Structure 1
């Protein structure tokens, strides 16, 4: 082999290595654990020992036991509500960001993303201190004379989980909507104004329809993050704020029933995949119209 052939082979070898690395990472860190969970979901537990015999008992238990399905659907509804609230609060912020220019836009965007760098547990404690019986919210309402004693409406229940998840996940909704608004050509807004449309008409007929793919992405993103969260319900939900994630956590922890926990994880993964597919379909459908 000549020196020229050896030099020509190096880029090819580097390309093969890069391609192999691109496949090894998702195969090793995503597909392999999912395959392991799927395999474990067909096993069972007998007196604390895992029985490595294929069975559908775990899935039959989920669909026949009256405890699990209501919690699953309640968790889906809760996370859907979180996604809707996050989009409702994030859209005006993203719209405000697109109106800024130069350095101000980057400064505000960085300030909005700073909470993502903080510890998740610290943020949960901060929100819990605001919503607690002696928290800032109750003290403010009592000082204004709206309530006479501390309210437990947002303490250790699903309302607390809803508000806490909404506060924590709003930044994840701002970014997709902001990027979607940024991709709308400004010429379309100018053309709408030149044709005599008001700012509200331009928003309703131009900006909002064209930004719906970003809204769909934000909703699916927030839904996926919320439905897989077990720490927030654990810390602010209490006994009445039980979610599907807490059930999975308990199966791998106190119950020590890994096969059933794996089966519940597979069911949750299926819900997540459906949410991602639905968000992608909604975004693609809107772009093709």
Structure 2
């Protein structure tokens, strides 16, 4: 009986941490989203006016849809680059494989702000890219094409989140038994047939995880658009940040944050369902 009480106490302590630091704050945001602002004061009266205003305003709705499209592009770029890189690293032998893996995930150990400033130093007017193109004679003067626009946001996000696509794909590839690949080769299957019928289905969970990581991380990012997007790189994350940091309309910002959270949940559920169907 005493051991049972101790186990229940330990379980309660462990469960209280995510309850206090995750569930409770999210619940507070959800409740706050049903209030509204009047004369710069929060009116604690339940209603759905914030959600109605969001869907009635094309400015907010259009920014939200544009952000979804941007995140989809980031995900596709990361998967198109991440899968071949993970495959290449996986096919190396011995310690070389893990050395290359360390190089691919090394950016994860760096400060996010440092990486952003590094990319800005490359894309800026006096950056490496402009100077290289001018040195090759392709540009007469520095161009603003590479910074402070939506393309800069897309490229920067793709670079920053690429390791999040590589790592889960590599981990699932590494779990594929080598005997399956040997058997496929002994039976005369071509490399493409082996990849299609063995490698890709077995690596699908990691592929889905990598796609979800890049999409969801890009969905909530507001620092990158602010640093490299300028006035034309506005995303939904920046809109939410502005409601809390500039407009001080916390209920409306909470409503948009709830919409973002719900969207992420729906995408995760649909991706998990699709992956399970593929495995069946």
TM-score calculated relative to the size of structure 1: 0.92
**Distance in 1, Cα, partners of 2:85 & 2:177:** 19
Show the 5 A alignment for 1:210-249. 210-249=202-241
2:62 counterpart of 1:70 = yes
> In structure 2, what is the equivalent of residue 60 of structure 1?
52
Show the 5 A alignment for 1:125-164. 125-164=117-156
Is contact 2:201–2:279 with CA below 8 Å preserved after alignment? Answer: no
**Equivalent of residue 108 in structure 1, options 96, 100, 109:** 100
Distance 1:204 1:152, change over 3 A: farther
TM-score calculated relative to the size of structure 2: 0.95
Aligned length: 280
Tell me by how many angstroms 1:215 deviates. Answer: 1.3
**Equivalent of residue 41 in structure 1, options 28, 33, 38:** 33
When Rg is computed on C-alpha atoms for both structures, the one with the higher figure is: 1
Tell me by how many angstroms 1:151 deviates. Answer: 2.6
* CA RMSD in angstroms, aligned pairs only: 1.5
2:110 counterpart of 1:118 = yes
Give secondary structure in 1 for the equivalent of 2:37: strand
Is contact 2:71–2:215 with CA below 8 Å preserved after alignment? Answer: yes
Tell me by how many angstroms 1:99 deviates. Answer: 1.6
Deviates more, 1:135-144 or 1:32-41: 135-144
Gaps of 5+ in 2: none
Give secondary structure in 2 for the equivalent of 1:187: helix
**Equivalent of residue 9 in structure 1, options 2, 6, 9:** 2
Give secondary structure in 1 for the equivalent of 2:146: coil
Structure 1's consecutive aligned runs of 4 or more residues displaced over 3 angstroms after TM superposition are none
Gaps of 5+ in 1: 1-7
**Distance in 2, Cα, partners of 1:193 & 1:249:** 54
> In structure 2, what is the equivalent of residue 177 of structure 1?
169
Is contact 1:177–1:214 with CA below 8 Å preserved after alignment? Answer: yes
**Distance in 1, Cα, partners of 2:150 & 2:7:** 51
